[in-house]
Amino acid sequence: MNISFPDLKGALLCLLIASLGGIAASAVNIPLPFILGSMAASMAAAMMNLPIKRPTNIFIIPMRIILGVLIGSAVTPALFENTTAILGTAIFVPFYVIIAGIFGLAYYRMIAGFSREQAFFCALPGGLLIMTTLADDTGIDIKRISLAHALRITFVVISLPVFARVFLDVENVDVSRVSVGLFTMGFNDLALLVVAGIVGFVGAEKLKIPAGHILGPLFASAFVHLTGLTSSKPPQELINAAQIILGAYIGARFINENLSIVRTAIIHAAGHVAVMLSLSVAFAYALYQLFGLPMMNGVLSFAPGGLPENSLIAFGLGLDVGFIASVQVARLMFISLLAPFFYLRIKHLLH
């Protein structure tokens, strides 16, 4: 992992600015302060052309491992009490992805004026890394696609806490107190979580699992929690640090972006997210009618954010994170495995 000194220096500056933003947001009681504050601060620094760089893998990989272990800690034996609802919800995932893809393709093609290829990869509600990688592998210019997905995730992270406050009368959405401190946690629990994170990461790398940096630790953490080896979550300090790095990673996507292009992309992303969240609410209502699934659980299960972002919001709201993560993983796996297949089958139609 070769990293130049200027890149490391710029990444550290980005993380410092992001940390100050997260601390400031926490001080004024902003929902999800460490993500939103760090994201806003690093985005502002990027747009002001400060000499920051996107956090490198030295920071990104540990962040994904920590978040994977955190999400996996919500997979407990109690999750199997909802097996029928999980399976029933998972069945809806392909329908949601296909409908969302059709609406998104029409939106980005007819309203945003993107090429058909760009619209296809902007439309699918997969993770930012997954969708930009798939698009890059097909030889498409990923600049617009990367920006569209970064903004989609940004708008979801901002809008869902507001949605929860307005419709659920939730005072705050915060994950700054979901675990104990580093020096309070027992050594055995901490060691088990560290081993789960490392084993999950290495295993996912060897198996080349899509989004494996987070899914591998998630599965390994779920195993040690399901088997009762531990019931602990990662230390709170690491959870807060992971949120700051995640916010900085999203915000720094806007480095060297033209302000007018970003302004136009913001308008299109806001419209797309509004369409996607409307679909999420519609699917959530159907699941509420069929299985009695609480509406907010359903909304977050289908919300077009990333797995870590949606899971952190679920933690902050005190929702069933294991359930929501299970459906989100099904969505990401479905898209990452089948999007290339669909693209090759309909490629001739997109020209």
Per-residue pLDDT averaged across 177-198, rounded?
91
Enter the tokens of residue 67. 């978040």
**CATH no. for residue 43?**
1.20.1530
Q: Say how far apart CA 103 and CA 280 lie, in whole Å.
A: 13
User: What angle, rounded to 10 degrees, do the helices at 57-72 and 307-317 form?
Assistant: 50
Number of C-beta neighbours around residue 307 at 10 A? 22
pLDDT at 173: 67
pLDDT digits (tens, 9 = 90+) for 31-41: 788 988 999 99
Is the confidence at residue 329, as pLDDT, over 90?
no
Surface-to-core class of residue 227, CB atoms within 10 Å of its CB (0-12 exposed, 13-18 middle, 19+ buried) = exposed
Enter the tokens of residue 186. 């027992």
Is the confidence at residue 137, as pLDDT, over 70?
no
Q: Say how far apart CA 307 and CA 211 lie, in whole Å.
A: 10
Per-residue pLDDT averaged across 166-170, rounded?
65
Per-residue pLDDT averaged across 240-255, rounded?
90
Instruction: Look up the domain containing 67 and give its range.
Output: 5-349
pLDDT at 166: 73
pLDDT at 31: 77
CA 73 to chain centre: 17
Is the confidence at residue 136, as pLDDT, over 70?
no
139-143, 149-153, 285-289 — most confident range? 285-289
**Structural domain total, the chain:** 1
pLDDT at 41: 95
pLDDT at 133: 65
Enter the tokens of residue 343. 């693209």
What are the Cα distances from residue 132, in Å, to 121, 339, 350?
8, 12, 18
Enter the tokens of residue 109. 């093609």
